[in-house]
Structure 1
């Protein structure tokens, strides 16, 4: 596996690179956006490890630019900010996973391996199902051509389900990626949100947009 490491901290670069070497993987370091963009222009990577703060530059902006350039390698964000809002910002920018600093090396490796197995990130920017259209870039939802209001948290949940491309996502995975925690309170909030989404969107889909797998999770019923 070939991993691009983008971080302005030399110690972090060396730590991640040496860890990958011990596991038999290759890595390419980049200390900022310009180096990173040159690297992806020159070759392909299986995973990109990207720090959120790159000196005066933003890792979030770099991630968005990589996605605009159709770089599809999964992106793992590293950041000293571990709040729910920071995680959501990273996922909305086009990232696939988020690991707060300081991190355990074993967890870093496990997340990189998981992203490597997942393969290229093909996140849909527009999703259609029957008369439902979800535009994730503009954050606008339409049913039969009529725009319906969708809250920020509802978009977070829809993003997680859309990324699964019709596969079932467990309750805990949705909670971890959308709220950053799994608790009775967030479980109750998820149930309320799914009920609201059904009222807003299911009428525009022949089978209903949201499918529940009782006792496990949710999935979106997508068109072939």
Structure 2
């Protein structure tokens, strides 16, 4: 098994006043040649957005974009939807930018900060028709067991959101002292494990809140929770 550990404090950071952004990979003004991407995973931004603030209308194309609100109220609008779409914690949003979309993302609260992950995955099909979807996932369904959030549009898997890439996004909430074995999709895949909160151990590496580890060249690995932990898995082809 091959691993690369990214500690929380090693991420790129940008303070825009209204936006506090942590970049796991090179993004905007942050560039690290050793952190450009992990396989097809191109962006993992950990953003905190001030009340009533957000990203004005801007374009995307040929990228699979996944947003996971952690706290607060996200509101989304694009040229496929005239009305603002609220996206709440417990929900996941996907957007296949394809041939091109224009969208806006704002904090829908007047007094609470919005915390979210924004994830960009390089697609395996370009210039597809743009599409948008969101889905609510029951938190209790990931207590000490894997909950699948996103899979390939080409894969017959019920209950998940779909993107144009042979990827799997999933979450698990582990109680203290619980262990879980993650099985890889294939030998050509790697998984980027983000410890959202808590403390876990993988292959002798202790990971605290917002620490991450990229894992490749293995069929499976085991996680032990040293404390109650919330974990995000992003499994992608190692292109």
TM range (shorter): under 0.3
Provide TM-score, normalisation by structure 1.
0.25
**Structure holding more helix per residue:** 1
**Structure holding more strand per residue:** 2
The higher-RCO structure (CA 8 Å, 6+ apart) is 2
